[in-house]
């Protein structure tokens, strides 16, 4: 299916008409890295089981089961050891399901993008978008990176992924005198990575990718959170 034609308003005098060349885009990609969120190492089933084994309550169940076994109370021992097996199985299932959900969310924030490269429209993977790329946006698109709007025709975006607000917000054309802002309501000339265009069309220029984007900063913050030890661990 051919890409929709996206008109560029004549008043967008700050629009880089040709976009980046493939060579410039390649150099920026090598310098800045791919436009994607950080990815933690995928844990194996054995690693998850070992983490469960370090839990004090789990160790208490195993110890109690061994004591019952030594005392000759086979029924109690088997019941406790069965609880141990069930606990491991449930934990592994939940952890793997959580990892799959996180991978799905990561894919959601890395959509394909329609860009101008050397004056030609080109559909590329979102991870290959670089700062300076000119992005063509239309209804139904997910924004592949943080951008400022060079042209906007009744453009509205759903930013609930970042703000939690379900009401779409309208977008306006960027003025070079405007400082970069966070997602915060209507009439901003910025659109943010992972958000959904629900109405209108526009042309935008990328100013932040990967971990420098708003959603990337959230991902970095979540990545450095450490679980506090409970009284049982202390």
pLDDT means per 10 residues, the chain with 234 residues, are: 47 60 92 80 73 78 84 84 83 78 64 88 92 94 93 93 89 85 86 93 93 80 55 48
**3-class secondary structure, 220:** helix
Q: Can you give the pLDDT at residue 1?
A: 44
pLDDT attached to residue 233: 47
pLDDT of residue 10: 39
Cβ contacts of 47 within 8 Å, gap of 6 or more: none
User: By C-alpha distance, which of 184, 199, 186 is closest to 137?
Assistant: 199
pLDDT attached to residue 210:
87
Q: What is the pLDDT of residue 196?
A: 93
> What pLDDT is stored for residue 13 in this prediction?
45
116 forms beta bridges with 121, 134
- CATH hierarchy code of domain 22-36+110-221: 2.70.150.10
């Amino acid at each position: 299916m051919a890409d929709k034609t996206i008109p560029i308003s004549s008043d967008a005098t700050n629009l880089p008409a040709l976009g980046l060349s493939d060579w410039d885009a390649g150099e920026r990609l090598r310098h800045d890295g791919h436009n994607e969120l950080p990815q933690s190492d995928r844990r194996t089933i054995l690693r998850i089981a070992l983490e469960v084994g370090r839990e004090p309550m789990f160790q208490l169940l195993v110890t109690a089961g061994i004591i019952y076994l030594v005392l000759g109370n086979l029924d109690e021992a088997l019941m406790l050891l069965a609880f141990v097996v069930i606990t491991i199985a449930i934990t592994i299932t939940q952890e793997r399901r959580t990892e799959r959900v996180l991978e799905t969310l990561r894919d959601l924030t890395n959509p394909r993008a329609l860009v101008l490269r050397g004056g030609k429209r080109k559909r590329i993977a979102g991870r290959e978008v670089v700062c300076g790329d000119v992005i063509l946006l239309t209804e139904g698109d997910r924004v592949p990176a943080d951008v400022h709007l060079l042209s906007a025709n009744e453009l509205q975006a759903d930013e609930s992924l970042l703000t939690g607000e379900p009401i779409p917000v309208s977008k306006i054309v960027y003025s070079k005198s405007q400082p970069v802002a966070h997602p915060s309501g209507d009439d901003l000339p910025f659109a943010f990575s992972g958000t959904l265009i629900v109405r209108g069309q526009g042309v935008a220029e990328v100013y932040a990718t990967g971990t420098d984007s708003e959603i990337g900063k959230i991902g970095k913050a979540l990545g450095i959170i450490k679980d506090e030890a409970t009284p049982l661990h202390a």
